[in-house]
């Protein structure tokens, strides 16, 4: 009778959250290039690199994400245990009715069956609402995670003079090749964790 609608912890899908971050231009950077003429591409300064972050590593090593994962795994287990307990209590009630049904009058059987049907409906509604509330909370936390990483990367890119920070994820990336010197993952993780530990 119990139909579980709870989904297992889905924060790992947050790997798709860190898509492509466009950083603010570092307007304080002074260049010595001459004005470009029309049709002539501007020279790219070595300080205006495009770098990338490995989102797989970011999500496994960022302490804030790890804490979120533990938090929601605990909430999911608690919700599943709660629903299991409520479902078992309902099943016991149904079994008791089935055992005593023959001793009840037709009116008593009808009213008991109607009450049990209402209770089953209430249980299913409760399960759906609880699952929806948990998913909404996860979505809100995923948005916070995205904002934290995006805000950090904007400041980081501005400080370093990067024009863009891309994301790389194994098996799910538009980047086919990038020189390892452009990988700033370790530095970004270190900075994010330092920022998180202060809070």
Residues of the chain with pLDDT under 50: 1-47
Full-model pTM: 0.65
Residue 15: per-residue pLDDT: 33
DSSP notation for the chain: -----PPPP-GGGGGGG---EEPPP-TT----PPPPPTTPPPPPPTTS-EEEEEHHHHHHH-HHHHHHHHHHHHHHHHHHHHHHHHHHHHHHHHHHHHHHGGGS-HHHHHHHHHHHHHHHHHHHHHHHHHHHHHHHHHHHHHHHHHHHHHHHHHHHHHHHT-SEEEEE-TTS-S-S---GGGB-HHHHHHHHHHHHHH-
Residue 116: per-residue pLDDT: 95
Residue 48: per-residue pLDDT: 57
């Amino acid at each position: 009778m119990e139909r579980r609608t709870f989904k297992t912890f889905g924060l790992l899908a947050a790997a798709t959250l860190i898509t492509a971050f466009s950083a603010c231009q570092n307007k304080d950077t002074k260049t010595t290039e001459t004005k470009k003429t029309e049709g002539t591409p501007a020279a790219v300064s070595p300080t205006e690199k495009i770098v990338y972050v490995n989102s797989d590593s970011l999500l496994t090593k960022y302490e804030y994400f790890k804490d979120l994962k533990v938090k929601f795994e605990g909430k999911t287990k608690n919700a599943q245990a709660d629903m299991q307990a409520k479902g078992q209590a309902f099943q016991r009630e149904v079994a008791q009715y089935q055992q005593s049904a023959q001793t009840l009058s037709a009116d008593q059987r009808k009213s008991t069956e109607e009450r049990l049907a209402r209770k089953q409906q209430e249980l299913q509604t409760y399960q759906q609402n609880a699952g929806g509330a948990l998913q909404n909370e996860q979505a809100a936390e995923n948005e916070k995670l995205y904002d934290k990483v995006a805000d950090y990367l904007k400041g980081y890119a501005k400080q370093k003079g990067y024009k863009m920070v891309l994301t790389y994820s194994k098996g799910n990336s538009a980047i086919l090749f990038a020189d390892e010197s452009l990988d700033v993952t370790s530095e970004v993780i270190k900075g994010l964790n330092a920022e998180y530990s202060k809070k």
